[in-house]
Amino acid sequence: MQDKASSKPSKPTRRAFLKSTGAVAAGLSLASASRAQDAKVETLALDGGPKAVTVPSPGKAWQWPLYGKEEEEAMVQLVRDPSYTPIDALESEWRKHFGVPHCKAHCNGTAALTSMFFALDLPPGSEIMVPSYTFFATIVPMRLFGLVPVFVDINPQTLNFDLEDAKKRLTKDTKAVLPVHWIGLPSEMDNICDWAKEKGLIVLEDACHAHGAKLKDKYTGSWGRMGAFSFQGSKPLPAIEGGMGVYQEKNDFDRATAYGNYDRCAGEYAQYAGSGLGVKLRMHPMAAQLARLQLKVLEPRNAAGVKQTRSLNDRILQLPGLLEQTYNRPDMQRLYYSSNMLFIDEKKAGMTREAAVKALQAEGVNTSNHGYTLQHKLPLYSQAQWWHHLPVIPELPGSDKANQWAMPLPYFTSEQPELVEQYAKAFEKVWAHREKLGKV
């Protein structure tokens, strides 16, 4: 077979191939170079060749949530015999599983974060350092209590809180830091906690993507004074909707609980039993029951997801200019959720992200020129009426870079050896043609 785009013979010599693809310079292993050589002889789907990905209905490969008979039966049981008992049961199982002293189930992660900001009991005008590269819920509820975000950059390869950038943004009003463990990758909490301690800052965590991730054998969500989890349907522990707040201190727990649970006011807040404080954020017992069942399978599922993702990434990351969302620390135990985030270094790859994405999409790979909404660029943060004082709108080059080079793949939620093989072949094929793709 001939490569349609060139008039070269279909079987170039091994040496000529390695030279032409830059495989040797890029340190490709012989095995992957040989696979890429096979891929080279195939015409790109973009040019009318066969698609590399042919597995039917690959959408099933990233199906989520995964519920079965047990969940169905539990829901039927609750309809027949309605009860609130799953909420207390979930809280007790959560404390035991994660080894935390206090936790409160909330109707979603946003409610857990809102209650956390209330629990802080900080004077209006207090500032909290937080990445702009996050979902609105990590930031916007601050304003309900006169708190003000200080936007911090992310490291473009971890997509997590950049401590060095935070150091430059400290003000006299900064009172807390709030890292997010983006799509299951733990932030470097040991370094963040050390710096926060030195500066007298409170550490909070948005662990809404990281149920069961660890650093130094310590769970995300349990490093800070308070942490929040989401059980929304796409999350690593899905209950369709739901959330959990984790508290190291009893008074934070009492205050966060009193905020949205008129019937659970205790400690200093016992006097508000019956009146509550004006909102009701109790978790739905059906969601609590789903969360209990999903908690039972969380750890093996996380481990299977890591294994599955490694089987693809360890192969394709040998291609020049292709990177993944990570950092190099053996004491970090991540999980995957939602997407398998890759990045393309255009110089090293010899082609633009746009060219690679277009060619990969034509091969049947589910990827995109990914851009995530940066909160600091939204109108809300520049309008004085919503804030105690206006947040500073900074330049965040790491966050911009993340949006320039990210190229996500779906997170395969079950074992998919055939699809992994086909995705790997698609990448190897596209990379084998990168010289030509780089010229267009």
The residue ranges that bind ligand PLP (CB under 6 A) are 108-110, 134-135, 137-138, 180, 206, 208-209, 230, 232, 243
- Residue whose pair of structure tokens reads 């020049």 in the numeric block: 320
Least Cβ distance, residue 234 to ligand PLP (angstroms):
7
**Measured from the CB of residue 43, what is the shortest distance to ligand PLP in angstroms?**
40
Residue 260 CB, nearest distance to ligand PLP (Å)? Answer: 13
Contact (Cβ atoms closer than 8 angstroms) between residue 366 and residue 58: yes
Least gap, CB of 138 to ligand PLP (angstroms): 5
What's the closest the beta carbon of residue 142 comes to ligand PLP, in angstroms? 13
- Phi, psi for 66 (deg, rounded to 5): -105, 100
Query: Which CB, 43 or 110, lies closer to ligand PLP?
Result: 110
> Is 208 or 356 the residue whose CB approaches ligand PLP more closely?
208
Dist. CA 80–CA 156, nearest whole Å: 50
| 110 versus 399: smaller Cβ distance to ligand PLP | 110
Nearer to ligand PLP, 87 or 208 (CB): 208
CA proximity to 112, closest of 23, 206, 193, 177: 206
Closer of 43 and 232 to ligand PLP (Cβ): 232
Nearer to ligand PLP, 137 or 323 (CB): 137
In angstroms, what is the minimal distance from the CB of 380 to ligand PLP?
16
Cβ count within 10 A of residue 415: 13
Nearer to ligand PLP, 110 or 339 (CB): 110
Distance CA 206, CA 138 (A): 7
| Angle formed at CA 289 by CA 89 and CA 335, multiple of 5 degrees | 95
CB of 336 to ligand PLP, least distance (A): 15
- Shortest spacing between CB 255 and ligand PLP, in angstroms: 20
Alpha-carbon distance of 310 to 411, in angstroms, equals 11
* Residues 47, 72: Cα–Cα separation, whole Å: 47
Q: Cα–Cα distance between 320 and 22 in angstroms, integer?
A: 8
Closest CA to 401 of 113, 85, 132, 27: 132
In terms of CB distance, is 229 or 431 closer to ligand PLP? 229
DSSP 109-124: HHHHHHHHHHHH-PPT
Q: Which is nearer to ligand PLP, 44 or 283 (CB)?
A: 283
Q: Is the distance from CB of 159 to CB of 180 less than 8 angstroms?
A: no
* Separation between Cα atoms, residue 371 and residue 328, nearest integer Å: 24
Of residues 187, 212, 233, the one with CA closest to residue 100: 212
Residue nearest to ligand PLP (CB): 109
Contact (Cβ atoms closer than 8 angstroms) between residue 5 and residue 433: yes
Least separation in angstroms between residue 243's CB and ligand PLP is 5
Cα distances from 145 to residues 103, 128, 141, 229, in angstroms, run 22, 12, 8, 20
